Amino acid sequence: MEIIADLQLHSRHSRATSKDLSIDNLEKYGRIKGLNLLGTGDFQHPEHRKEIDAKLKEDDKGILRTKKGFPFIWQTEISFMYSQNDKRRAVHLLVFAPNRNIADKITSYLASRGRIDYDGRPIFGINARDFVKDMKEIDDKIEIIPAHCMTPWFGIFGSVSGFDSLKECFQDQVDKIYAVESGMSADPAMLWRFEEIASGKVNVVSFSDAHGFWPWRIGREATIFDLKELSYDNIIKAIRTGEGLKATIETPPEYGKYHWDGHRNCNFSCSPIETKKLNGICPVCKDKMTIGVEYRVEEIAKHENGYKPKDAKPFYKLLPLHELISIFTENGIASKKNWEIYNKLIEQFGNELDILLKVEKQKLLDEDVNEKLADLIIRNRKGTIKVKPGYDGVYGVAMLEEQKTLF
């Protein structure tokens, strides 16, 4: 059974999320995207919990289902801000619960440490090591995964407030961390260069961190599982051991908002090589630049670029289908024309991920898909569409020719 899962989502109660981000819309667009397992997002938030209880029914395998049978698992993301070794630390951790009872215990734990009603992704001053220890004392089946592990501000390896290793962060609890989430600005090939991941003891997963339900957000990154049966235990076993962890779907790292270095307010970005020449100083405002993922990888990597562990899982680098259509039409991503083309493609071929990964070019042409768009779909699959790197909170921009964007 192939399961394509996006297990890092939020609710409309998190900051900077769509007001229409609901279980119903996640199910609708999850199906359109080609996903068949989602995280609930924000399960500890009181208002979102009401929606989960009203919309989802839990089975004896730890899977929650809608009335139409679409599966979810208990999932949230927590922000931790604290001081360690005389340095400010900020880490986002994904948390998964095996059932309603354990989700309740996690919620009670968090509520005893601070407010859980003001933001779907609440902030706590708990040390990450202590949080892991406390969670494992509740239940060993609780899974904790560092989210978007390379982003400067809240990634566990981030340049601004992160650590140089998992061991440094989690200390004597590091053996309870079985995976890291790559995030949009990094891909597995970059993370394989880290000793803890190269050793095979820590796997790489990928999820969208979507703040909306639109198909260019949800499932833009996902993890593919190959399981005998869909259950919470089987999902967690795959994450912990790699058995049943088939592959990940990644956006090109350049597409992420923190791949290169720079200043968004100065409209300036540059590669790590240029950053070193500038001594990390923005030539526009003369202040320190935000150091991105590519630079940070080089700082802490233990293996050369191109190193691949023997048990490394494959991954696919894909731009969302709406991005390809936007290149084709030269219109904004959510334009009416783009939606018309997108909806027709879904009607013809079933779901977005099948289009991006599986449908052959000739079949696209046989269904009267414009040849230029069909070519973009195949080029995307082969990874030959250039992306101007994102930086300091600005998304990367897809383009077909060097230094010439198409929208």
- Model confidence pLDDT, tens digit, residues 16-71: 999 999 999 999 999 999 999 999 999 999 999 999 999 999 999 999 999 999 99
Is the pLDDT at 406 greater than 70? The verdict is no
Predicted model pTM: 0.96
- What pLDDT, on a 0 to 100 scale, did the predictor assign at position 399? 81
- Using CA atoms, how far apart are residues 164 and 75, in angstroms rounded to an integer? 26
| Domain match, 128 and 211 both | yes
Mean per-residue pLDDT, 303-317: 96
Buried b (16+ CB within 10 A) or exposed e, 202-216: bbbbbbbbbbbbbbb
Kindly report the backbone phi and psi dihedral angles of residue 353, in degrees, each rounded to the nearest multiple of 5, phi listed first.
-65, -30
| Domain match, 212 and 337 both | no
Is the pLDDT at 407 greater than 90? The verdict is no
Of the pLDDT bands very low, low, confident and very high (cuts 50, 70, 90), residue 401 is low
133 within a domain of the structure (yes/no): yes
Q: What percentage of the chain's residues is helix, strand, coil (to nearest 5)?
A: 35, 20, 45
| Domain match, 99 and 17 both | yes
- Model confidence pLDDT, tens digit, residues 336-377: 999 999 999 999 999 999 999 999 999 999 999 999 999 999
- Using CA atoms, how far apart are residues 176 and 165, in angstroms rounded to an integer? 14
Residue with tokens 């609440």: 122
| Domain match, 24 and 122 both | yes
256 within a domain of the structure (yes/no): no
| Domain match, 213 and 324 both | no
Domain count of the fold of the chain? 2
Which of 196, 221, 250 marks a domain boundary? 250
407 within a domain of the structure (yes/no): no
How far CA 365 is from CA of 34, 361, 375, in Å, comes to 21, 6, 10
**Residue 120 structural domain:** 2-147+207-250
- Model confidence pLDDT, tens digit, residues 295-307: 999 999 999 999 9
374 within a domain of the structure (yes/no): yes
Kindly report the backbone phi and psi dihedral angles of residue 83, in degrees, each rounded to the nearest multiple of 5, phi listed first.
-110, 135
| Domain match, 91 and 216 both | yes
Number of Cβ within a 10 Å radius of residue 18: 17
Which of 190, 220, 250 marks a domain boundary? 250
